[in-house]
Amino acid sequence: MFESLDEHIKHDEEAETTRTERVLRWVAVIVISVVVFGGLYFGVRLLE
């Protein structure tokens, strides 16, 4: 009878973005994460 807030958010997000946009967003998040953590890793390695 009543939809939860989580269901409303998922439905609204699906209506606003296409599948391609969501995939590109996740790819961008993964690439940025790898760059940031990779930079931190190499920065620490250079300090040793």
- What Cα–Cα distance (Å) separates residue 47 from each residue in 38, 39, 40? 14, 12, 11
pLDDT bucket at 2, cuts 50 / 70 / 90:
low
Tell me the pLDDT tens digit for each residue of 7-36.
777 777 667 778 898 899 999 999 999 999
- Please state the domain extents for the chain: 5-47
Please give the pLDDT value at position 19: 84
pLDDT of 1 higher than 50 = no
Residue of 7, 27, 9 whose CA lies nearest to 19: 27
**Does residue 4 register a pLDDT over 50?**
yes
Does position 6 have pLDDT exceeding 80, yes or no? no
pTM value > 0.75: no
